[in-house]
Amino acid sequence: MRIGLISDTHQPAERRTLWDEIHSVFKGVDLILHAGDIVIPAVLDWLEEIAPVVAARGNNDHGWDDPRMREVQSLDVDGLRLAMIHIMRPEDRPIDDLKRRYLGGAHADVMITGDTHVERLDYREGVLQINPGSPTLPHHRSTRLGTVGLLEIGGGSLEARIVRL
């Protein structure tokens, strides 16, 4: 299964849709996980033109609701437990502390987060941590092309990467 990872789209007012580069990178994915700060619901609809979407609510996603969005998302994919939440700071805390504080102690093989706008790909204490950064406002700088992530899961293997747009 190929999964597109995206976070912190903060859809700029001057853009009517997401960057075309996002569509190119996500072409052929089976699922898209948005780790929050979607800001406008249309972003989920645009992404769903590519593949089904599951989203975590970000701290800037207020005043609207969507059935694809929850505070914390948990998915089982090919025997692996994926957990997604917008804010998990500081990300470098011990994994068990992060699980207790943000996941109610639940097990996770992969933790997907957002909020920082800074891409992260780290494997520690038996858990893959990935933050795809922001495709539109990388590192909280100006509106420009940033990063997204890709996960490939299957046959007992897990491969993850950050893609610079």
pLDDT, tens digit, 9 for 90 and up, residues 122-136: 999 999 999 999 999
Tokens of 21: 């580069």
35-69: burial string, b at 16+ Cβ within 10 Å, e else: bbbbbebebbebbeebbebbbbbbeebeeeeeebb
Q: Is the pLDDT of residue 12 over 70?
A: no
The pTM (predicted TM-score) of the whole model is 0.95
For the residues 5-21, what does the mean pLDDT come to? 84
Mean pLDDT along residues 3-16 = 84
Share of the chain above pLDDT 70, in %: 98
Residue with structure tokens 């899961």?
Answer: 153
Task: With beta carbons less than 8 A apart as the criterion, state whether 160 and 4 touch.
Answer: no
Give the Cβ contact number of residue 110 at 10 Å: 23
Q: Could you report the per-residue pLDDT of 101-112, keeping only the tens digit for each? A: 999 999 999 999
Provide the pLDDT confidence category of residue 58 given band limits of 50, 70 and 90.
very high
Tokens (6 digits) for 159: 């491969």
The residue type found at 90 is P
